[in-house]
């Protein structure tokens, strides 16, 4: 009967759609979400994870199924439905030499249209929009299909790996999510309004924290507040009363002779009640970390420190700086600044007035210029010193990319402020970041 034949063809198209949806769902499903679903007790998620660990096998099984369904659907429709259409057209008076090709063409076009729409496009859209849920639903049937066609699947999998090897491709690829992919998803979430710009900025800074060294986030040596045991009582009192932070280092002789740290509030109480001598019982030892340590590794050290403070020392034992929970917080939340004002200021002419201690990786991202590989500096001041190879004077400048960097303030041996001005006309001459003749003249 024609109804049965049409039902068979429609069923084959639906089966093709199921296989197409299964392929796209298993490929698109995010592994962390599947792992979470598996931990919550979903057996289908566990099977889906097993399939995604060996994508070659389930892709081979899907391809076998799709190929067989296509062959059967084409042969069945051509042998049955096309013949019935041919006979019907002849009964309507159409010559045989025309009826047969017309019936065959109409059947092929109709079956192809339905196969593309119902057997490919719609199922793939479903698999793409609901990847994890669809993957859980199709995982078990796909596993059974792979097991049933195991010999052929193994042959195709080995053949595919051989082809990849001949093309210079590795057997397996890391399917983990990269930082760039995460940021791309966050950018898209920001564009659609799911994530606020401030949230996007904080997430970006948290991720960047893992790529920085402790030197990039520490309070440098010149900015450390400390008191010397050898100072007079009056000098110690003045230092404690003028402290701008909640903790101060205590040294014996010089800053490289740190013996611990003291909480300023408790020190003030002791100072008012019993004098300077009563403060020294409040001194607590602080851990020291290498200046080559990663910034993210310092967080654990801070947890173990009684005063949430660690020293940063170099290989010679000299103090390079300190790290507190405030330094970590300022790295993540850029708007938390100290009394001296913002570290980067946008001016009306498009230029940027930047504090020398501003992180160079954040500035490079904002300016859209790549940094030289393996750089040893972490701040704008360090970048300027590396480019000019000496301590510049006020007014000296250099070019990098399409930007002009001018030193506008030097405090002692430190570059305090840098003015960055866009220079589009310099794109060709300094596109690779080489200093220009203007920089050498200055």
Residue 313 sits in a domain whose CATH number is 3.10.580.10
Helices marked H in 216-356 — which ranges? 233-241, 264-274, 295-304, 325-332
Indicate the residue among 268, 300, 332 that finishes a domain: 332
Asked if pLDDT for residue 407 goes beyond 90, the answer is: yes
Indicate the pLDDT class of residue 405, thresholds 50, 70 and 90. very high
Asked if pLDDT for residue 169 goes beyond 80, the answer is: no
Number of domains comprising the chain: 4
Beginning with the edge strand found earlier in the chain, give each strand of the sheet holding 258-263 in spatial order. Answer: 226-228, 247-251, 258-263
Average pLDDT on 16-20 reads 86
Residues 221 and 238 reside in one and the same domain: yes
Beta strands at 352-355 and 414-422: parallel, antiparallel or unpaired:
antiparallel
- Its pTM surpasses 0.75: no
Average pLDDT on 224-246 reads 88
User: Is residue 11 situated within a structural domain?
Assistant: yes
Residues 353 and 436 reside in one and the same domain: yes
Residues 37 and 160 reside in one and the same domain: yes
Question: pLDDT value at position 310?
Answer: 92
Residues 198 and 218 reside in one and the same domain: no
Indicate the pLDDT class of residue 439, thresholds 50, 70 and 90. very low
Residues 200 and 119 reside in one and the same domain: no
Indicate the pLDDT class of residue 183, thresholds 50, 70 and 90. confident
User: Is residue 98 situated within a structural domain?
Assistant: yes
Asked if pLDDT for residue 164 goes beyond 90, the answer is: no
Indicate the pLDDT class of residue 406, thresholds 50, 70 and 90. very high
User: Using CA atoms, how far apart are residues 20 and 18, in angstroms rounded to an integer?
Assistant: 5
User: Using CA atoms, how far apart are residues 120 and 400, in angstroms rounded to an integer?
Assistant: 50
User: Is residue 381 situated within a structural domain?
Assistant: yes
Residues 319 and 221 reside in one and the same domain: yes
Q: For residue 390, what is the domain's CATH number?
A: 3.30.465.10
Beta strands at 226-228 and 352-355: parallel, antiparallel or unpaired:
unpaired
Question: pLDDT value at position 425?
Answer: 57
Indicate the residue among 166, 198, 223 that finishes a domain: 166
The string of pLDDT tens digits covering residues 360-396 is 888 888 888 888 877 778 889 889 998 888 889 999 9
Indicate the pLDDT class of residue 424, thresholds 50, 70 and 90. low
Residues 135 and 239 reside in one and the same domain: no
Indicate the residue among 302, 332, 362 that finishes a domain: 332
Question: pLDDT value at position 323?
Answer: 92
Residues 219 and 205 reside in one and the same domain: no
Question: pLDDT value at position 185?
Answer: 77
Q: What is the chain's Cα-based Rg?
A: 35
Question: pLDDT value at position 172?
Answer: 54
Residues 34 and 73 reside in one and the same domain: yes
User: Is residue 338 situated within a structural domain?
Assistant: no
Q: What DSSP designation does 294 have? A: B
Residues 328 and 352 reside in one and the same domain: no
Residues 8 and 117 reside in one and the same domain: yes
Asked if pLDDT for residue 435 goes beyond 70, the answer is: no
Residues 283 and 247 reside in one and the same domain: yes
Question: pLDDT value at position 25?
Answer: 86
Burial class (CB in 10 A: 0-12, 13-18, 19+), 275: exposed
* Helix (H) or strand (E) run with residue 70 in it: helix 55-76
Looking at every residue in the chain, the average pLDDT score rounds to 80
Structure tokens at 296: 């993210």
Residue 11: which domain range? 2-166
User: Is residue 339 situated within a structural domain?
Assistant: no
Asked if pLDDT for residue 35 goes beyond 80, the answer is: yes
Q: Are 205 and 331 in contact (CB under 8 A)?
A: yes
Asked if pLDDT for residue 191 goes beyond 70, the answer is: yes
User: Is residue 172 situated within a structural domain?
Assistant: no
Indicate the pLDDT class of residue 226, thresholds 50, 70 and 90. very high
The string of pLDDT tens digits covering residues 390-404 is 889 999 999 988 899
């Amino acid at each position: 009967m024609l109804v049965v034949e049409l039902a068979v063809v429609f069923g084959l198209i639906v089966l093709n759609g199921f296989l197409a949806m299964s392929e796209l769902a298993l490929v698109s499903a995010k592994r962390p979400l599947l792992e979470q679903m598996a931990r919550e007790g979903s057996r289908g998620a566990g099977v889906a994870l097993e399939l995604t660990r060996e994508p070659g096998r389930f892709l081979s099984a899907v391809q076998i199924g799709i190929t067989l369904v296509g062959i059967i659907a084409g042969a069945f429709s051509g042998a049955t439905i096309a013949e019935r259409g041919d006979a019907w057209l002849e009964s309507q008076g159409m010559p045989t030499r025309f009826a047969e090709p017309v019936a065959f063409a109409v059947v092929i076009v109709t079956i192809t249209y339905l196969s593309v729409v119902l057997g490919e496009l719609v199922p793939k859209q479903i698999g793409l929009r609901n990847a994890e849920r669809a993957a859980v639903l199709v995982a078990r049937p796909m596993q059974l299909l792979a097991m049933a066609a195991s010999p052929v699947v193994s042959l195709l999998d080995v053949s595919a790996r051989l082809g990849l090897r001949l093309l210079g491709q590795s057997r397996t690829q890391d399917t983990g999510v990269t930082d760039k992919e995460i940021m791309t998803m966050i950018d898209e979430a920001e564009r659609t309004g799911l994530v606020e710009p401030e949230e996007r900025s904080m997430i970006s800074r948290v991720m960047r924290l893992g790529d920085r060294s402790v030197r990039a986030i520490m309070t440098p040596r010149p900015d450390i507040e400390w008191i010397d045991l050898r100072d007079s009582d009056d000098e110690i009192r003045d230092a404690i009363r003028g402290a701008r932070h909640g903790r101060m280092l205590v040294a014996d002789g010089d800053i490289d002779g740190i013996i611990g740290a003291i909480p300023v509030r408790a020190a003030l109480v002791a100072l008012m009640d019993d004098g300077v001598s009563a403060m020294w019982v409040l001194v607590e030892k602080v851990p020291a970390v290498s200046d080559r340590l990663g910034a993210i590794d310092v967080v654990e050290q801070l947890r173990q420190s009684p005063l949430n403070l660690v020293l940063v020392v170099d290989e010679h034992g000299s103090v390079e700086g300190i790290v507190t929970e405030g330094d970590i917080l300022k790295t993540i939340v850029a708007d938390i600044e100290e009394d001296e004002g913002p570290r980067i200021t946008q001016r009306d002419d498009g230029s940027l007035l930047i504090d020398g201690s501003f992180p160079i990786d954040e500035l490079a991202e904002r300016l859209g210029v790549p940094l030289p590989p393996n750089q040893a500096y972490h701040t704008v001041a360090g970048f300027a010193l590396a480019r000019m190879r000496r301590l510049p004077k006020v007014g000296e400048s250099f070019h990098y990319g399409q930007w002009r960097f001018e030193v506008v303030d030097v405090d002692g041996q430190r570059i305090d402020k840098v003015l960055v001005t866009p220079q589009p006309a310099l794109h060709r001459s300094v596109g690779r970041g080489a200093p220009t003749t203007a920089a050498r003249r200055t």
